[in-house]
Structure 1
Amino acid sequence: MCKHSNSEAIASWKLSSLVCRLSTISTRLRGQVDICYQLIETKMHNKLLNLFRENHTDNQEVLEMFFALKDDLPLKDCSSQAKLGMSELKNKVVILLITRAELLPIEVLLLLAQQMFDRAKLDGSYEIVWVPIASSDTWTCAEEESFDFLSNSLPWFSIRQPWLLSSIVVKFIKLKWNFNEEPLMVILDKQGMVTNSNAFDMTLIWGPRAYPFSISRENELWEGQTWNLQLLLDGIDPKVAKWVEEDQNLCIYGSDDLDWIREFIAKMREIVSSGLQFKMVYVGKKNPSENIRRVIGEEKMTGSLTLTKINFFWLRLESMRRSKLRLGHTDDKDPILKQLSGLLDTDESEKGWVIMGRGCSTDIVKLQGREVIERLELFPVWGEKVTIWGLVGAIRTAIEPALLAEPCHHSNVVPFVEGLKDTLFCEKCKRPMEKFVVYKCNGTE
């Protein structure tokens, strides 16, 4: 009996000792595996970094390693559901649309689709590939369902199985490209080089005109841009775009104050009845309230945009400001950014506001609050000057200080650009300036 008891104790001790040894070995192995994973991750991360820095004959090596889904057909055409290989992206600029699994807020998605829809002249030059990223390390059922629904409805390409995307690539996207829930559009040129780490705003502003969507192209577009109504209204509505193209007098106005709107419209109708022709565009406010919905529905709003296009208007303005700030511009040195910030700040106030001008002209005027009504009431004073100075010039005579009695010799050299207006007004005395043509020789011999 005693021998049997001792043998059981010895066996139990040996088993316990074996468990302890196996546990120690397991812990060490797990540690070694973790170290291996870290080394693999570091190696892969560095390889990705080097890959995007190296010169390539095309984008295939970059894309194949980036997606690395062990699938010959890792992409899908969302509109046709066709399975696609990486060769479909060869010799094209690739736009990686990186978002959460829920994609984008509906109004942003609609604006992006509208802005990027007209690509006839650039057909085959670029492709958008949606790369959804889960909110955690693993995809939830809700995220997979959201992806399945959206990827069957979009007008561009998508990864077919984004949950198989390497965790190393996801980490690279978050660390290197600073993805933190906000949408990104990373641009790869035809050789697979990153030319813009976020072109999202420039696509909302200019659409396909921003091709090839590089940082240099973004700077180029801003360098040739002036503060005018075409910039504010471009791509929002075909009817309004036609008014801009026809160089018609335009009046953009915004507010959710029903009393102010009614008074403003009444004054404008009085002016129109006198024979002065112009078009009006109501853009509401940045975050349309129920009051604005009621205003559009109940009032006979002259030139009112739909709620969707009102959202488009404000989204583009915000994209313009973000684009400018990302490029390093400041309000005190950039007149367009200053005007954008001023308009967005005005929207946050309770005052109604108006911007008047025409087409591509840089001669525009902004009024707000009671000042709008007061200046319109002076129409009998400035209305007769419209034929001489134009709408904005005539209105300005009712806004600016009285003209100086003595002569003003201020001069302003303006480079010739297409659509340059015939009449400029002096920055100091506000009177029309006399025009002279200056020829400069660029010869070196």
Structure 2
Amino acid sequence: MWKCMHSNSVTIASWKLSSLVGRLSTISSHLRRQVDACYKLIETKMHNKLLDLSKESHIDNQEVLEMLFALKDSLPLKDSSSQAKIALSELKSKVVILLVSRPELLPIEVLLLLVQQMFDHPYRVNLQGSYEIVWVLIPSSDTWTDVEEQNFDFLSNLLPWFSIQRPWLLCSIVVKSIKQAWDFKEKPLMVVLDTQGMVTNLNAIDMALIWVAMAFLFSTSRENELWEEKTWNLQLLLDEIDPLVAKWVEEDQNLCIYGSNNIDWIREFNAKMRNMTSAGLQLKMVYVGKKNSSDDHMKKNLATLYEEKLTSSLTCTKIYFFWLRLESMRRSKLRLGHTDDHEDEILKQLSELLDTNDESEKGWVLLGKGSSTETLKLQGRKIMECLDLFPVWGENVAMLGLVGAITTALEPPLLVEPCSHSNIIQFVEGLKDTIICDKCKRLLEKFVVHKCDGTE
């Protein structure tokens, strides 16, 4: 009898426990859904707040930065050069550039150029700490790997900008918002916050590579302004990438920039150019290799140029910088909406250079003067034909200029007699004395026209 009663009580107790487990499981599932819903709501509100904060103007940038770097640390940043711990208040009243990337950051050549343009350039002295770069790392997954931490530790101690001391503690909502709001995927971004914490450029990395610290305030509107000030010439193309070449550009010397991977073609081209300079042609030559050439091939060609004293050349690193900068120029133009390269002379010329394929035609040259908008690009067989015509156009260089003399020889007058065509050209500083007629390819006779500017 006792055994029967004991068995029943055990059964009842088991049933009650089972029922309780079921109820607790239901409550747990319900609470988990509630927590997930609350977390999503918090995430949405924080995401929207981040978006709103970066679109609005504030007294300063502190509220936005505190939202982004919501770490339980009053000194969340570190100065890589001194290893000092930095408070967000150090960024107050400064333009802040958030360099968002994976822990491996950038290819070494791009990294070197970025440091050169943003920190080592003399123009930065004039800005006297008006901007700072903060490195914001986003891991490839939700958890950091040992390799990613090692990359961060190495680079954050080496590079001359601020970084987050412990980036793995960044709020997951902030990381998700950065990916969504700023469209961060794999390639690094330089997101610019002005002194009021407002986003003024979603990616200023091309600006930095092209314009150096001169791009300050690094906003999209500043990017447009810089392009409006520029015209296509060799000065824009070469910038200050090499001191000697920059000197030639400043002196307005005749320049020949050329590229090829074919060392036999390079030798033949240089032999013909030496004959021309020996005959009195004033010309400086710069070898810039070929876009995407392998390091081994490039170094071999540069060694040959040096040993055989063929011509001046940029170093291997500077050649890489040259092509990288041109790619940045084209991306910058396209991002700003200049899609029709037939309407945009700079974009047209950039695309021609970047899309040049010398595999079949052996090489290309670009001729011109530093600040002159007149340039001439020749490729393959056309180059040698042009050089063979030196006895025809060489004597006209003094009067027509290098580009004008070659153009006249390659494209002889279309009409037997002068065409009486006229062209009104507004005077600007540095305007050439000699201008070629577009129709008959003869020299235009110069007349001066005065126009009332309507002011008293």
Identify whether the pair has TM-score above 0.5, normalized to the shorter chain: yes
Q: 2:418–2:442: 8 Å Cα contact kept in structure 1?
A: no
Aligned with 1:315 (options 324, 331, 336): 324
- For 1:213 and 1:417, the matched residues in 2 are separated by 29
1:306 to 312, 315, 320: 315
Displacement of 1:166: 1.6
How far apart are 1:302 and its partner, in Å?
1.0
> Equivalents in 2 of 1:417, 1:74: separation in Å?
53
Output one character per residue of 1:144-180: Cα deviation in whole Å (capped at 9) or x when no partner: 1101110111111112121122222222222111111
1:379-398 counterparts in 2 under 5 A? 379-398=390-409
Q: Give aligned-pair identity as a percent.
A: 71
Letter in 2 for 1:41: E
Measured in 2, the distance between the counterparts of 1:154 and 1:316 equals: 21
Question: What residue in structure 2 maps to residue 340 of structure 1?
Answer: 350
The answer on 1:143 being equivalent to 2:148 is yes
Which of 177, 186, 193 in structure 2 is aligned with 1:188?
193
Match of 2:107 in 1: 105
Aligned partners of 1:255 and 1:350 also within 8 Å: no
TM-score scaled by structure 1?
Answer: 0.95
From the superposition, tell whether residues 62 and 348 of structure 1 become closer, same or farther in structure 2 (CA, over 3 Å). farther
Decide which moves more: 199-208 or 413-422. Answer: 413-422
Q: Is the 8 A contact 2:80 2:160 kept in 1?
A: yes
2:443 maps to which of 411, 428, 432: 432
Supply the AA of the counterpart residue of 2:445. Answer: E
2:418 alignment counterpart: 407
Q: CA deviation at 1:271?
A: 0.9
Aligned positions of 1:26-45 closer than 5 A: 26-45=28-47
Give the CA deviation at 1:318: 0.6
1:296 equivalent among 302, 317, 329: 302
Q: Secondary structure at the match of 1:398?
A: helix
**Aligned to 2:209, which of 204, 207, 213?**
204
Alignment of 1:73-84 (within 5 A): 73-84=75-86
- Once the two structures are superposed, residues 18-50 of structure 1 have per-residue CA deviations (whole angstroms, 9 ceiling, x without a partner) of 222222221111111110110001111111122
CA distance in 1, matches of 2:95, 2:22: 58
The amino acid of 1:37's aligned partner reads Y
Unmatched segments (≥5 aa) in structure 2: none
State the match for 1:95 in structure 2. 97
Offset from partner CA, 1:326-379 (integer Å, 9 cap, x none): 111121211111111111111475431000111111111110001101110111
Match of 1:134 in 2: 139
Q: Give me the whole-angstrom Cα distance separating, in 2, the residues matched to 1:216 and 1:164.
A: 34
How far off is 1:409 after superposition?
3.3
8 Å contact from structure 2 (residues 94, 130) kept in 1: yes
Q: 1:219 to 1:73 in 2, by over 3 A?
A: same
- Checking the alignment, whether the CA contact within 8 Å between 1:288 and 1:307 is kept in structure 2 is no
Q: Over residues 259-281 of structure 1, what are the superposed CA-to-partner deviations in whole Å (9 max), with x where a residue is unaligned? A: 21111111111111112121111
TM-superposed deviation, 1:107: 1.1
SS in 1 for 2:409: coil
- Does residue 1:251 correspond to 2:256, yes or no? yes
2:288–2:313 contact (8 Å) kept in structure 1: yes
Q: Quick one: which of 330, 333, 336 aligns to 1:324? A: 333
In 1: Cα distance, 2:422 partner to 2:23 partner: 91
Q: Who is 2:284 aligned against?
A: 279
Cα distance in 1, alignment partners of residues 448 and 4 from structure 2: 121
Aligned length: 445
Shift of 1:441: 2.7
Contact 1:243–1:359 (CA under 8 A) maintained in structure 2: yes
Q: Is the 8 A contact 2:101 2:187 kept in 1?
A: yes
For 1:421, what is the secondary structure of its paired residue? coil
- Paired residues of 2:414 and 2:439 also in contact (CA < 8 A): no
1:175 aligns with 2:175: no
1:257-315 residue CA offsets vs partner (Å, 9 max, x unmatched): 12211111111111111121211111111112233321112333411111111110111
Q: Compute the TM-score of the two structures, normalised by the length of structure 2.
A: 0.93
The answer to whether the Cα contact below 8 Å between 2:76 and 2:86 also exists between their aligned partners in 1 is yes
The C-alpha deviation readout for 1:185-206, integer Å capped at 9, x for no partner, is 1111111111111111111111
Local SS of the residue matching 2:377: strand
Cα 1:158–1:424 shift into 2, 3 Å: farther
Report SS of the residue matched to 1:397. Answer: helix
